[in-house]
Each structure stands twice: as C-alpha cells, then as structure tokens.
Amino acid sequence: MIDLKTKKILITGANGFVGKHLVQNLLELKNVSLNNLYTPDFKELDLRKWEDCQKAVQGKDVVIHLAAKVGGIGLNREIPGEMFYDNIIMGTQLMEAARQAKVEKFVALGTICAYPKFTPLPFKEEYLWSGYPEETNAPYGLAKKMLLVQAQSYRRQYGFNAIYLLPVNMYGPGDNFDPKKSHVIAALIKKIYEAKKDNKKYIEVWGSGSATREFLYVEDGVEGIILAAEKYDKPDPINLGSGADISINDLAVLICKLMDFKGEIRWDKSKPDGQPKRLLEVSKAQKEFGFKSKTNLREGLQKTVKFYLENENKQ
C-alpha cells in the first residue's frame, strides 16, 4: 500500500480529459498537496524526446502515464504511423527514464484496443495475446501493449514496480468533443446538438450500429487508477471497466432520447464499425484492489449531456 499523500507524483497527460479528473480527485479526495504533483503539458515537455523524459521523472516517486495520441476510428485510419510511433516512443522512453531515476512505482495506462479483434466475451486479461487487434486501431493498440511487455520485463530484470491497466473508453464531463479526435459518446452528443440547432431531420453515424461497446464514467475510471496506484503491485494486466455493454445503435437512440432529438438515425455502412464487440471481465480489479464502477450509463450520459449543453459555446 502506497500513501500517495507522501509521494512526489508525475502525471503525464494531466491536462487531458482523464488527467484533469485524476488531478482533481487526488487534490480533493486524497488530500494530495498540489506541491507534490507535477503535471507538465506538451509545450513544457515533449515525451518523444529522451531529455524531456529524464526531466519529467527527476525526483519523482510515482509516475502515472496517461499521455497518449488518441482519437476515433477516423483519426486512427488517417495517421496510423503517428499513432504507433508517438505512443510507443513516449511510453518506452518514459519507463526507461523512470527506471534509471529509481522511481518507486510506474502506472501505465494501456487500452482496450490492445485486445484481439475477435476476443471471446467477456474479455479476460489472459486473452490479450490470442490474436491481432482490429485493423483500424491496431497501430495504437499494439504501441500501448508494448508497455505491458516492457513493464513485465523490467520487473523481472530490475525489480521495477510497473503495473499495467486496461481501461475501456471513458466518458463524462470535460470529454473531448472535437469531431476529429472524439470517441463515440462525445461525437454523438455534438452531432445531435448540431442537428437540433440546424433543424435537421436526421443524423448520420458511421458503421452499421451493430457493434457493441463498454463505457466507463470518468470519475469511476480515475478512482480505479488511484486504487491501483495505491494497492496493486503485480505483473499481470488488469481490466478497468463497468462490466456492461451496449450496441452503438442503442447508444445513439438513448442519447437522442436524453437530448430530446426526434429525428432519424442514418447509418453509413460504407464506414467501418471497428471491433465487433467489446465487454470486459472486471472481477480481477475488484479482487485485487477493490475497484467496482458505481455510475450506470444512463446516469453518466445525463451528466455528460448536461455538461456539454452548459459549455457548448466553449467547445
């Protein structure tokens, strides 16, 4: 058990969606001092540069690595090379710099995109190596999966305490609503809002709507990350999820209902669905460090929609 209040903590990606919630949680719920948090942004440190990784970890006890180049299916198809290189180089260099600096614990955030395309449901951690990821996000998924290989290798050779978490897509207030970078929930909320504003009779959504996804409310997700940072010290990867899935069609219908949009949903089947199904087995997180999500999807969506409507002029 690590008492985070007594540690110097580096959070990469702290200015991103999940990072902002994580920092707020540590300050308000864990009473971590702001002086003990180092939250550099991209302008201050570019983690693709070795020297900046060395600077980032200097004098730190705990590293929580959230920084990543991320986006939806469209961005993954557009820049797969950048998705692979930027993510693998940031993670690999940062973990090596942390090891050299004798950092006490390294928390690596992986991605559900690392799982094979046709993983049996629910996804168990031991299925991670049973096939190739879905093609549109494989470069990103594989780059992030290499952090697990590195963490386990460093643990064996150096006794370095690195852990690896596999979160599903998180959503909630403060999500990224930029159409080029947003994931499905934020993208749908923005699309429906724009359709209502412009008096459109329909929205158009990529794919067939048949794919299923699991979502984790961001406040629950950061609680899971913190619990793992405090209590989990084993080499095995751990899923972080809600343990409930929904089809993209049903998700779109639900958000339309919550936003009182009565128009048609048109599916562009020329565009990919991505991975056919996603649903995590989440019992290991509860067993190992007592994490279980609390927020059901409808409640979480209501909070996210409310946030967007109150802040849409700032998006």
Residue numbers in the known binding site are 13-19, 144, 183, 191, 206, 213, 273
Contact 308, 189 (CB under 8 A): yes
Strand 169-171 with 212-217, pairing: parallel
Catalytic residue among 115, 140, 171, 193: 140
168's tokens: 């599903």
Q: What is the CA radius of gyration of the chain?
A: 19
Side chain identity, residue 134 = E
Residue whose token pair is 């996210």: 304
User: What is the rounded distance in angstroms from the CA atom of residue 120 to the CA atom of residue 279?
Assistant: 9
CB 267: neighbour CB atoms within 10 A? Answer: 17
Binding residue ranges for substrate: 191, 206, 213, 273
188's tokens: 């749908």
Strand 264-268 with 202-206, pairing: parallel
Catalytic: 140? Answer: yes
Contact 171, 185 (CB under 8 A): yes
Question: How buried is residue 73: exposed, middle or buried, by Cβ count under 10 Å (0-12/13-18/19+)?
Answer: buried
DSSP 100-154: HTT-SEEEEE--GGGSBTTPPSSB-GGGTTSSPBPGGGHHHHHHHHHHHHHHHHH
DSSP 205-266: EES-S--EEEEEEHHHHHHHHHHHHHH---SS-EEE--S-EEEHHHHHHHHHHHTT--SEEE
Q: Which residues are catalytic?
A: 140
